[in-house]
Amino acid sequence: MATRPPFMAVVVQLLAFAAATGAFYLPGAAPHNFVKGEQVPLFVNALTPMLTGTDNAKLKSLINYDYYNPKFQFCEPEGGPKKQPESLGSILFGDRIFDSPYDIKMLEENGTCRTLCVKQGVTGEDAKFINDRIREDYALNWLIDGLPAAEMKLDTRNGDLFFDMGFNLGNDEGKFQEQPALNNHYEIVLRYHSPAPGNYRVVGVLVWPSSIGGPQDGPATCDTENASPLLLTEDQTHTIRYSYRVTWNESDTPWATRWDNYLKIFDPRIHWFSLINSLVIVVFLCIMVSMILLRSVSRDISRYNAIDLSEDVQEDWGWKLVHGEVFRTPRRPMILSVLVGNGAQLCAMVGVTLVFALLGFLSPSNRGSLATVMMICWTFFGGVGGYLSSRVYASLGGTDRRKNAFVTATVLPTVIFAVVFLLNLFLLGAGSSGAVPFGTMLLIILLWYGISAPLSAVGAYYGSRHGAVQHPVRVNQIPRQIPPTPKYLRPAAAALLAGILPFGAAFVELYFVLSSLFASRAYYAFGFLALTAGIVGLTTATVSILFTYFCLCAEEYRWHWRAFLTGGGSAFWLLAYGLFFWASRLSLHSMSSAVLYLGYLFLLVLLDFLVTGTIGFLASYWAVRRLYSAIRID
Ligand SMILES: *[C@@H]1O[C@H](CO)[C@@H](O)[C@H](O)[C@H]1NC(C)=O
Ligand SMILES: *[C@@H]1O[C@H](CO)[C@@H](O)[C@H](O)[C@H]1NC(C)=O
């Protein structure tokens, strides 16, 4: 044990050193130097619904489609599209990356108009499918050297230009209102930076899509100015000519900062102002609550101890009265300890992932790295969950340790798996590419049941060896009568009241998190996120301790479950906010999208409930032990 801290310190230092010297790159993070004439591959990702620029735009769908879905009729490379390798997190977050027939060579064919292919026999049925997707604001997602192709947009709030990832499949606004126009021409502007003569790096990918109608079988004109739009009527068979033009433009953006333009999507001032605002309020409240608590508790303690010393016959009152009850086994200790164990596993996962993100290991080039790190952390923190669950279970007076270990290891993965499986069925039904592939499902089963569950069992073994936590006061033989409790201390009311504060600290950041989860926008404000997570943890702990104290003062000694519920109260507000987000930011047309949204929201709320509930429970447990070890009991 003694050698562990120095060892960890060495590892952290090595990682920090490696990151600082740039000697150490995660896959996808190392610069690729191209020479003139070298092939620059263009990869295509699934089509996603996009929030179009304006501030009150609503997302119309949540379903991704494969680029090579036959109904889109996009040009395919010779010999059929080939799937590109992807990380686990990338697959889970809906990336489906394939190669493409675009022929791009470094600094060659600058400004040449080229035909990609001419697609014949696009049926009316396909045209309807395409038109529907255009109406739902679907966007194409291309990747060149790890950079997403973006549209350059003007931020109306501060006049900055920024890159909005993805570009429109078509256009159904303005002059073509009555019928959507398909974009069949792409102006691709590749920005390159030359760190040394003869070496070129891609530092920006911009695409201006446009619709060129008229006869589709002659050579491409790329004349975007005078073209009429390409409208696909739904009762005819069409021919579509796809064309593109690549322009190489030198840029002084170095490779290291090439992502900055993409990540400017949200004005950082919004983060700052709102976050500082809520931080100040919440920190102030936390300090106030802790001070009130500390003062009244220390007053209570000195009074209790003084009464005992003077052997006054005066009756005990307040929380001291229930000293013989506070550590009485609560109802259903099994479920409570399993929830706490799983919550602790999730807490550890969130904490470590945030540290990774803060250290800058989760490069946006490395697609899905956030989700991958989360999955791996969760898997390997199985031991934490098992250990805590079994110790809490023993401390609560539970006896069936094997069952506890088994349930801790299996229930949460099974619930999540079942939900994901159901959502998958809906995705498959909707013909979406977002369904998790079979191989990935198997991998997840292997991770959870093959690694996490055994680790959890090992943790449970050590937990039961360490046994129950010693309690400072003994439990009476006969339970006390509980007087009627005030309304605001009833479990549901307490949970709702207590949940407001942590939710209030988080809801600004929550907007960005939900937008990036559902509207596939980049989220890299990890500093803000970590700060918010810390504040939420702190607030949850403080508020749960406060409510537990109130409960005990009201002689309501069944605090275990209440502590968990008041801690997890913010999950209710998260659910309400999720529904509000749906009403205000989404206008989902299909039933599958609605089911998907509710399914993901349910998972999010469940995980939040477990994490904050665990924080509330553990904090209250700690506080109750401190409280009752401070007084003298005869
Ligand atoms: C490509 O053409 C554009 C204008 O058409 C020009 O600004 C740019 O410098 C050219 N790039 C190269 C590498 O010649
Ligand atoms: C290339 O860069 C120049 C200036 O850096 C800019 O004026 C021009 O519009 C760019 N060309 C394209 C096609 O974006």
Domain boundary among 436, 470, 504: 470
Q: Smallest Cα–Cα separation from 123: which of 131, 114, 133, 115?
A: 131
Ligand 1 center from residue 348 Cα (angstroms): 51
pLDDT at 177: 59
| Residues 6+ away with beta carbon under 8 Å from 160 | 154, 264
Q: Does residue 554 sit in the same domain as residue 595?
A: yes
Residues having CB closer than 6 A to ligand 1 are: 107, 110-111, 247-249
Q: Which residue in the block uniquely carries the two structure tokens 């255009």? A: 134
339: tokens are 């929830």
Q: Which atom of ligand 2 is nearest to the CA of 191?
A: 1
Q: For atom 6 of ligand 2, which residue has the closest CA?
A: 249
Ligand 2 center from residue 258 Cα (angstroms): 17
> What does the angle CA 547 – CA 411 – CA 345 come to, to the nearest 5 degrees?
55
Q: Is residue 196 part of a domain?
A: yes
| Residues 6+ away with beta carbon under 8 Å from 453 | 382, 409, 410, 413
Q: pLDDT digit string (tens) for 388-440?
A: 999 999 999 888 999 999 999 999 999 999 999 999 998 888 888 888 888 89
Q: Does residue 363 sit in the same domain as residue 412?
A: yes
Q: Which atom of ligand 1 is nearest to the CA of 107?
A: 13
Residue 11 confidence (pLDDT) above 50: no
Residue 19 confidence (pLDDT) above 70: no
What's the mean per-residue pLDDT of the chain? 85
> What does the angle CA 73 – CA 75 – CA 81 come to, to the nearest 5 degrees?
105
Q: pLDDT digit string (tens) for 113-168?
A: 999 999 988 999 999 999 999 988 899 999 999 899 998 877 666 677 778 888 98
CB 423 within 8 A of CB 376: no
Ligand 2 center from residue 249 Cα (angstroms): 6
Mean pLDDT on 290-305: 80
* Domains identified in the chain, total number: 3
Q: Which of 189, 207, 249 to mutate to test the pocket of ligand 2 (most atoms within 8 A of CB)?
A: 249
Q: Is residue 319 part of a domain?
A: no
Q: Is residue 300 part of a domain?
A: no
Residues having CB closer than 6 A to ligand 2 are: 189, 247, 249
Q: Is residue 489 part of a domain?
A: no
Q: pLDDT digit string (tens) for 326-363?
A: 898 899 999 999 999 999 999 999 999 999 888 877 77
Mean pLDDT on 365-374: 85
Instruction: Name the more confident of 105 and 17.
Output: 105
pLDDT at 315: 58
pLDDT at 266: 58
pLDDT at 55: 61
Ligand 2 center from residue 201 Cα (angstroms): 17
pLDDT at 615: 96
Distances (CA, A) of 135 to 38, 182, 245, 589: 38, 10, 26, 11
Q: Does residue 280 sit in the same domain as residue 180?
A: no
Q: For atom 11 of ligand 1, which residue has the closest CA?
A: 248
- Helix, strand, coil percentages in the chain from 3-state DSSP, rounded to 5: 50, 15, 35
Q: Which atom of ligand 2 is nearest to the CA of 247?
A: 13
Q: Smallest Cα–Cα separation from 568: which of 294, 342, 276?
A: 342
Q: Minimum mean pLDDT among 120-124, 454-458, 524-528, 540-544: which range?
A: 524-528
Q: Is residue 377 part of a domain?
A: yes
* 495-508 per-residue burial string, b: 16 or more CB within 10 A, e: under 16: bbebbebbbbbbbb
Q: Does residue 238 sit in the same domain as residue 277?
A: no
Domain boundary among 257, 282, 305: 257
| Residues 6+ away with beta carbon under 8 Å from 503 | 570, 573, 574, 577
Q: Is residue 388 part of a domain?
A: yes
Q: Minimum mean pLDDT among 16-30, 293-307, 470-484, 604-618: which range?
A: 16-30
Q: Does residue 247 sit in the same domain as residue 274?
A: no
Q: Does residue 520 sit in the same domain as residue 632?
A: yes
pLDDT at 138: 92
Q: Does residue 128 sit in the same domain as residue 207?
A: yes
Q: Does residue 186 sit in the same domain as residue 207?
A: yes
Q: Is residue 318 part of a domain?
A: no
Q: Which atom of ligand 2 is nearest to the CA of 206?
A: 14
Q: Does residue 189 sit in the same domain as residue 287?
A: no
Residue 634 confidence (pLDDT) above 70: no
Q: Residue 192 — pLDDT band, cuts 50, 70, 90?
A: very high
pLDDT at 312: 53
Q: Does residue 42 sit in the same domain as residue 126?
A: yes
Residue 515 confidence (pLDDT) above 90: no
Domain that holds residue 244: 31-257
Domain boundary among 257, 281, 307: 257
> Cβ atoms within 10 A of the Cβ of 47, count?
24
Q: pLDDT digit string (tens) for 613-624?
A: 999 999 999 999
Q: Is residue 90 part of a domain?
A: yes
CA distance 592 to 571: 24
Residue 501 confidence (pLDDT) above 90: no
pLDDT at 53: 58
**Amino acid letter, 15:** L
Q: Does residue 418 sit in the same domain as residue 560?
A: no
Q: Does residue 528 sit in the same domain as residue 437?
A: no
The top-scoring range by mean pLDDT among 6-15, 199-208, 218-227 is: 199-208
